[in-house]
Chain A
Amino acid sequence: MKAEKLKLKLKEIFGNEIEFNKEFDMYAESIKNIGTNLIDWCRLVKDGKIKYAPSIKTKSIIFIKKIGSSNRCIVVKVMNGEFKEVHLADHTYYDKLRKVLGLKKDNRDY
Chain B
Amino acid sequence: MDKNILKIIVDESKRLVPGIFTKKQIKIIERYSKKERLSNTEKTYFYATIKKKIDLLSMFKGEFYFYGKDMIQERVEEAKDILDEIDDNAFISGTFLFSKNFNDVDIYVIAKRRKQYHQGKKHFIFITKEDLKKPIFVSAAKYCISNFFMDLSKVEIKRPDFNDLVMTYELAINEILDNDDQKRIRDLIFEHRIQLNKQVLDSYSLNKKFNEIKKLKKGEKIKYVNNLAKELLLRSYSNDYVYNEISPFVTRLKKDADGYKSNENLLIYIDMLNEVKHESRKAKT
- Report which A residues bind B (CB closer than 8 A): 47-51, 53-57, 59, 66, 69, 102-105, 109-110
Q: Are A56 and B174 in contact (CB under 8 A)?
A: no
Q: Are B249 and A56 in contact (CB under 8 A)?
A: yes
> Does B252 touch A at the CB level, under 8 Å?
yes
Interface residue from B158, B166, B261 paired with A56 (Cβ < 8 Å)? B166
CB under 8 Å from chain A, chain B span 231-248: 245
Complex CA gap A102/B262 in Å reads 23
Q: Are A48 and B103 in contact (CB under 8 A)?
A: no
Q: Are A51 and B261 in contact (CB under 8 A)?
A: no
> Does B135 touch A at the CB level, under 8 Å?
yes
Interface size on B, residues (CB 8 A): 29
Known A48-B260, A105-B164; 17 more pairs at CB < 8 Å: A47-B261, A49-B262, A51-B178, A51-B264, A53-B167, A53-B171, A53-B265, A54-B253, A54-B256, A55-B167, A56-B166, A103-B163, A103-B167, A104-B164, A105-B161, A110-B135, A110-B136
Q: Are B174 and A53 in contact (CB under 8 A)?
A: yes
> Does B177 touch A at the CB level, under 8 Å?
yes
CB under 8 Å from chain A, chain B span 156-199: 158, 161-164, 166-167, 170-171, 174, 177-178, 180
Q: Which of A51, A54, A104 has most chain B Cβ within 10 Å?
A: A51
Q: 27 interchain pairs (CB within 8 A)?
A: A48-B261, A50-B262, A51-B174, A51-B177, A51-B178, A51-B264, A51-B265, A53-B167, A53-B171, A53-B265, A54-B170, A54-B253, A54-B256, A55-B163, A55-B167, A56-B162, A56-B166, A56-B249, A59-B252, A66-B180, A69-B103, A103-B163, A104-B164, A105-B161, A105-B164, A110-B135, A110-B158
Complex CA gap A57/B264 in Å reads 22
**Least Cβ distance of A68 to chain B in Å?**
12
Q: Are A48 and B163 in contact (CB under 8 A)?
A: no
> Does B75 touch A at the CB level, under 8 Å?
no
List A contacts of B123 (CB < 8 A). Answer: none
**Least Cβ distance of B262 to chain A in Å?**
5
Q: Are A48 and B162 in contact (CB under 8 A)?
A: no
Given A48-B262, A51-B264, A53-B167, residue A110 in contact with residue B134 (CB < 8 A) = yes
List B contacts of A56 (CB < 8 A). Answer: 162-163, 166, 245, 249
List A contacts of B261 (CB < 8 A). Answer: 47-49
Complex CA gap A59/B251 in Å reads 13
List B contacts of A48 (CB < 8 A). Answer: 260-262
**Least Cβ distance of A108 to chain B in Å?**
8
**Least Cβ distance of B118 to chain A in Å?**
10
Q: Are A105 and B163 in contact (CB under 8 A)?
A: yes
What residue in chain A is nearest B259 (Cβ atoms)?
Answer: A48
